[in-house]
Amino acid sequence: MKVSFHGHSVVKIESQGKTILIDPFITGNGLTDLKVEDVKPDVIIVTHGHGDHLGDTVELAKKHDALVIANFELATYLSWQGVNTHGMSIGGAYQFDFGKVKLTPAFHGTGLETGNNEIIYLGMPAGVLVTIEDKTIYHAGDTGLFSDMKLIGDRHPIDLAFLPIGDNFTMGPEDAAYAASLLSAKKVVPIHYNTFPPIKQDPHKFVDMLKPGVGQVLEVGESIQL
């Protein structure tokens, strides 16, 4: 299984001929190496309804008939856009043909700006556990630090965790390092940093805060084999 990072919070999982894309913020993402016309996902997982995570979901899903997995409210909204969806809620898991997906808590905001000085509520933000080929990947989404991350790690041994470090909107490096200790993941990769001025961070300093061998900075387009 190949797991790659593509700027901001975009993560791609390739396994058994399937491509799973998490938070496909491509258009407007100055750090990504992806192009919408070149990406062909079979499955899209969206952690929450902010534009820098929902991104190009609708266009990609329609073009490639991809299944979109998200919280129930967001999935319902996307289904109204003509997208094939599977709605879930926090704490729930479902076995798909490509693997198992479980939504976890995330402490953050939600909603999509309409351009008419309105915000559409799109359900609770989530993290996601994806288990494929007996390996578990945790994408925390956008979140602050919370103590039940230890419970997540205790209940689900994590092979690879993607944690936001940008601060301002999510955990900063210090809190993310503490989160890594709670999760006890075998490998931790920082995400959600340097895309915008308020979330400017040095990912290598974050990795230095972790136990030796645990942290790894993935440059845009780089991957890990699990």
Identify the helix (H) or strand (E) that includes residue 223: strand 223-225
Which pLDDT does position 114 carry in this prediction? 84
For residues 142 and 35, give the distance between their C-alpha atoms in angstroms, rounded to a whole number. Answer: 23
Q: Which residues of the chain have pLDDT under 70?
A: none
Q: Say whether 224 sits in a helix, a strand or coil.
A: strand
Which pLDDT does position 115 carry in this prediction? 81
The amino acid that residue 169 corresponds to is: F
Residues 48-100 have pLDDT tens digits of 999 999 999 999 999 999 999 999 999 999 999 999 999 999 999 999 999 99
Q: Say whether 120 sits in a helix, a strand or coil.
A: strand
Q: Say whether 38 sits in a helix, a strand or coil.
A: helix
Which pLDDT does position 113 carry in this prediction? 87
- DSSP line for 172-187: -HHHHHHHHHHHT-S-
- CATH superfamily to which 2-212 belongs: Ribonuclease Z/Hydroxyacylglutathione hydrolase-like (3.60.15.10)
Q: Check the CA dihedral 34-38-42-43 and report its sign.
A: positive
- 206 Rama sector, left if φ>0, alpha if ψ -120 to 50, beta otherwise: alpha
Which pLDDT does position 185 carry in this prediction? 98
**What does residue 7 show for φ and ψ, rounded to 5 degrees?**
90, 145
